[in-house]
């Protein structure tokens, strides 16, 4: 790592002095782009040259620090100010099903949310058979398997990386766990089979933290966002091929983005947009400054909308709520954890309207402060539970 000092200028006034730790090589450019995307408009940045700071991480070599600093100056002065150009060759990702991502190199990390609440409310009993419709890294599955003697589990995930990770994590349970690589919407639910079903919706921390998967504007990567890498539609296809009106509609509907029209217009002007950071920059450039420096990054809602569309998340959830109740034994419970209001609304109404279910949670169960401190992701988690009628 090397350290670069620079000043950020806004409206002709020096806004703040910043220091940036830069990894070596291409990653340095990535870091700069991410930093730009995350916190300020690059058009207002004047780099004052690199000042290798003492006491930086990794005991940096001054020569390397200066080289990075100089390239950063050249970058801001010479490269087009808002667009972050990334030649495709540099960003070839192992993101198709023929070349699965190497999990040895990147560990699957995900802390299960509402663990105590899920286990208590599912009332796991010895010898029971449970379904984890979203096994992910296997966190909730393991809790279920450990909650009582001789529990059997069917574990589904549409993401092959997740299944590989879960297989390893749950290997000690041997034949008691059966893994299924499938979307839960296309899974053939066997009637009256499970004593409990859990679905912990959305993406895992692994998805967000693994740049190659293209879910997050925190990392430079191809715009991908597919949970199931066997499917062909990617976020790049949506962004570069859909009409301006269609883009505006999905940003509004699935991202609840008020500025959907102007963002869609800017995206169409800037196409092709092939990377997460290029898209995030285009979005940031389309919104007023107040919005740009607000509580959340201005690209957050659009990224949520894109992810929902690429993975057809709401339709899949509807199908799950329609099909899953019949797979429960009488008295069996279904627990669904959602992370945004669109999902929660579907879960709330879907469980309530199912003729087979009795809802056990009038209000959704949410995380306690202690959990939120340890796992920020739990802040928006909402758990709803229902039971199959006799």
Ligand X SMILES: C[S@@+](CC[C@H](N)C(=O)[O-])C[C@H]1O[C@@H](n2cnc3c(N)ncnc32)[C@H](O)[C@@H]1O
Residues lying near ligand X in the complex (CB under 6 A): 110, 112, 134, 136-140, 156-159, 162, 183-185, 200, 202-204, 227, 316
Nearest-angstrom CA–CA distance, 53 and 22: 12
CB closer to ligand X out of 200 and 224:
200
What is the closest distance, in whole angstroms, from the C-beta atom of residue 307 to ligand X in the complex? Answer: 10
What is the closest distance, in whole angstroms, from the C-beta atom of residue 164 to ligand X in the complex? Answer: 11
Nearest to 11 by CA among 44, 36, 50: 44
Q: Kindly give, in sequence order, each residue whose CB lies less than 8 Å from that of residue 60, ignoring residues fewer than 6 positions away.
A: 1, 2, 3, 52
CB closer to ligand X out of 140 and 270:
140
Task: Determine contact, residues 122/132, Cβ cutoff 8 Å.
Answer: no
Nearest-angstrom CA–CA distance, 150 and 291: 53
How far, in Å, are 46, 69, 123 from residue 66 at the CA level?
A: 17, 5, 60
Nearest to 159 by CA among 135, 194, 187: 135
CB closer to ligand X out of 72 and 203:
203
DSSP for 72-112, please give it: HHHHHHHS-SS-----GGGG----STTS---TTTS----PP
What is the closest distance, in whole angstroms, from the C-beta atom of residue 140 to ligand X in the complex? Answer: 4
CB closer to ligand X out of 184 and 303:
184
CB closer to ligand X out of 158 and 222:
158
Give burial (CB, 10 Å; 0-12/13-18/19+) of 53.
middle
Nearest-angstrom CA–CA distance, 318 and 326: 14
CB closer to ligand X out of 33 and 342:
342
CB closer to ligand X out of 203 and 302:
203
What is the closest distance, in whole angstroms, from the C-beta atom of residue 97 to ligand X in the complex? Answer: 14
What is the closest distance, in whole angstroms, from the C-beta atom of residue 210 to ligand X in the complex? Answer: 11
What is the closest distance, in whole angstroms, from the C-beta atom of residue 159 to ligand X in the complex? Answer: 4
- Tell me the HSE value of 44 on the side-chain side, using a 13 A CA sphere: 16
What is the closest distance, in whole angstroms, from the C-beta atom of residue 76 to ligand X in the complex? Answer: 38
CB closer to ligand X out of 137 and 350:
137
Secondary structure, 3-state, 265-320 = HHHHHHCCCCEHHHHHHHHHHHCCHHHHCCCCCCCHHHHHHHHHHHCCHHHHHHHH
What is the closest distance, in whole angstroms, from the C-beta atom of residue 185 to ligand X in the complex? Answer: 6
The encoded tokens of residue 35 equal: 């930093």
CB closer to ligand X out of 86 and 342:
342
Nearest-angstrom CA–CA distance, 120 and 129: 16
Nearest-angstrom CA–CA distance, 349 and 317: 12
CB closer to ligand X out of 162 and 282:
162
Q: Read off the DSSP letter of residue 378.
A: G
What is the closest distance, in whole angstroms, from the C-beta atom of residue 183 to ligand X in the complex? Answer: 4
The encoded tokens of residue 134 equal: 């979203």
What is the closest distance, in whole angstroms, from the C-beta atom of residue 223 to ligand X in the complex? Answer: 18
């Amino acid at each position: 790592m090397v350290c670069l000092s620079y000043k950020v200028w806004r409206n002709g006034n020096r806004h703040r002095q910043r220091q940036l730790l830069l990894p070596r090589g291409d990653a340095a450019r990535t870091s700069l782009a991410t930093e730009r995307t995350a916190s300020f408009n690059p058009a207002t940045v004047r780099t004052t040259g690199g000042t290798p700071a003492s006491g930086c991480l990794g005991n940096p070599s001054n020569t390397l620090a200066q080289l990075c600093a100089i390239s950063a100056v050249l970058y801001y002065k010479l490269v087009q100010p808002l667009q972050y150009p990334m030649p495709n060759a540099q960003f070839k990702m192992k993101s198709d099903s023929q070349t699965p991502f190497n999990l040895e190199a990147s560990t699957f990390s995900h802390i299960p949310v509402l663990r105590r609440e899920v286990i208590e409310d599912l009332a796991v009993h010895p010898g029971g058979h449970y379904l984890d419709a979203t096994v992910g890294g296997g966190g909730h599955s393991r809790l279920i398997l450990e909650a009582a003697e001789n529990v059997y589990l069917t574990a589904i995930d549409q993401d092959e990386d997740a299944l590989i990770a879960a297989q390893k994590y749950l290997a000690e349970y041997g034949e008691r766990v059966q893994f299924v690589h499938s979307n839960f919407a296309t899974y053939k639910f066997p009637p009256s089979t499970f004593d409990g079903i859990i679905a912990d919706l959305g993406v895992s921390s692994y998805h967000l933290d693994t740049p190659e998967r293209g879910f997050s504007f925190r990392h430079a990567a191809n715009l991908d966002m597919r949970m199931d890498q066997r499917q062909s539609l990617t976020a790049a296809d949506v962004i570069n091929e859909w009409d301006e009106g269609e883009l505006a509609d999905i940003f509004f509907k699935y991202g609840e983005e008020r500025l959907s029209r102007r963002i869609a217009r800017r995206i169409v002007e800037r196409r092709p947009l092939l990377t997460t950071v290029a898209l995030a920059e285009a979005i940031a450039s389309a919104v007023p400054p107040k919005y740009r420096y607000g509580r959340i990054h201005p690209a957050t809602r659009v990224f949520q909308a894109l992810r929902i569309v690429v993975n057809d998340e709401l339709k899949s959830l509807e199908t799950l709520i329609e099909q899953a109740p019949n797979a429960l034994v009488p008295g069996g419970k279904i627990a669904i954890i959602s992370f945004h209001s669109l999902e929660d609304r579907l879960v709330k109404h879907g469980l309530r309207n199912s003729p087979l279910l009795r809802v056990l949670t009038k209000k959704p169960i949410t995380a306690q402060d202690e959990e939120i401190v340890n796992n920020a992701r739990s802040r928006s988690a909402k758990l709803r539970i229902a039971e199959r009628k006799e």
